[in-house]
Structure 1
């Protein structure tokens, strides 16, 4: 049965899409069967994939990308999860996901990853997001709610990160995504090798 990892946040710009892509490409590079689902109706990742494949022209194998919508993605994931076609399904949820959409997505997910920087605005949104996810955890007892420290300056100590996030009722990853251009600029085909520790830290909670 597929493991579903959903990236959720109450606002855009927190790093959902970039981290979802980095995780999917890393898992694919590790030999896993991966599906990336985006619920933004613009389906920008599918467009990016087409451009990358056209530019590469080398026939490089890549994982599948599926477009969906907030109100129907949970039902689609239920069917995909049972199909055993994929090892992992990574979901990049839209920034304007509804309360009902969040609840349904959480009920079918094995893990929800909430990326956040240490800016006051992002932290406030993260607190609200985790609060909104709590009821779903009561219905889905196996759900892991994971905080991913994202865009963290190289001079910031990991203890500072934990201190800023300690009041959250969620798992705080012991690794961070640094504030580097290589993590901001992403590809749906080529994996960024420096992302492997982050991917492995997430997978550790799905074992």
Structure 2
């Protein structure tokens, strides 16, 4: 299964959440590959730093991280799908993905996650991102698009979150990511218990 995290701008929580998802799935003995297309390669660099600090090698890591680009990711995904080595391939797309790259990535994805906070700016970005993705569903009938409520105050009423996000006209993941230090910080090696329910709800969308 291919799960892509897509947003029209950086800073919406794509990288943080995709890393939490990857570590959680890997801790459940799933075969996971994480690919980042942002050429800053944040996750690749973080992985190297973590391995160095722990004095371990890549073979000790719970899953593999590869760098790619918007232009080459599609052919790579097709290759990995044929090999059937992974249960989940997670794609952390670049912050400012082009229309063409978004469309191509959606055609190969089973699920696209659009993370957003409840701020007006993020909501506008999420709305535009979803509008960009909708045409791909006409071609890729199996494609699911879901909103991941991110950086939500833990005292926020779930109904409030649902009401605010309902205008985006996409599936809303019922468990939101709260504003907590543990959620904001992420490791490519260690899962956090708080993300298990969110990961469960994300994966359940693939079976509907």
Q: TM-score, normalised by structure 2?
A: 0.96
Residues 27-38 of structure 1 correspond to what in structure 2 (within 5 A)?
Answer: 27-38=25-36
Structure 2 partner of 1:192: 192
Q: Which moved more, 1:42-51 or 1:56-65?
A: 56-65
Q: Which runs of 4+ in 1 moved over 6 A?
A: none
How far is 1:58 from its partner? 4.7
Structure 2 partner of 1:9: 7
Structure 2 partner of 1:108: 108
Structure 2 partner of 1:43: 41
Query: Secondary structure in 2 aligned to 1:178?
Result: coil
Structure 2 residue ranges without an equivalent (≥5): none
Residues 63-82 of structure 1 correspond to what in structure 2 (within 5 A)?
Answer: 63-82=63-82
Alignment pair present for 1:54 and 2:65: no
Question: Across the two proteins, how many residue pairs are aligned to each other?
Answer: 205
Q: Which moved more, 1:165-174 or 1:56-65?
A: 56-65
Query: Secondary structure in 2 aligned to 1:10?
Result: coil
Query: Secondary structure in 2 aligned to 1:191?
Result: coil
Q: Could you give the per-residue CA deviations for residues 59-104 of structure 1, whole angstroms, max 9, x where no partner exists?
A: 6432000100011111111111121000000110000110000000
Alignment pair present for 1:21 and 2:7: no
User: Partners of 2:44 and 2:87 in 1: how far apart?
Assistant: 20
User: Partners of 1:146 and 1:75 in 2: how far apart?
Assistant: 24
User: Partners of 2:82 and 2:181 in 1: how far apart?
Assistant: 37
Preserved contact between residue 102 and residue 133 of structure 2 (Cα < 8 Å): yes
User: Partners of 1:58 and 1:73 in 2: how far apart?
Assistant: 29
User: Partners of 1:154 and 1:78 in 2: how far apart?
Assistant: 40
Q: Which moved more, 1:72-81 or 1:145-154?
A: 72-81
Q: TM-score, normalised by structure 1?
A: 0.97
User: Partners of 2:127 and 2:200 in 1: how far apart?
Assistant: 24
What RMSD in Å do the two structures reach over aligned CA positions? 0.9
Structure 1 residue ranges without an equivalent (≥5): none
User: Partners of 1:172 and 1:185 in 2: how far apart?
Assistant: 23
Preserved contact between residue 2 and residue 111 of structure 2 (Cα < 8 Å): yes
How far is 1:169 from its partner? 2.3
Alignment pair present for 1:178 and 2:178: yes
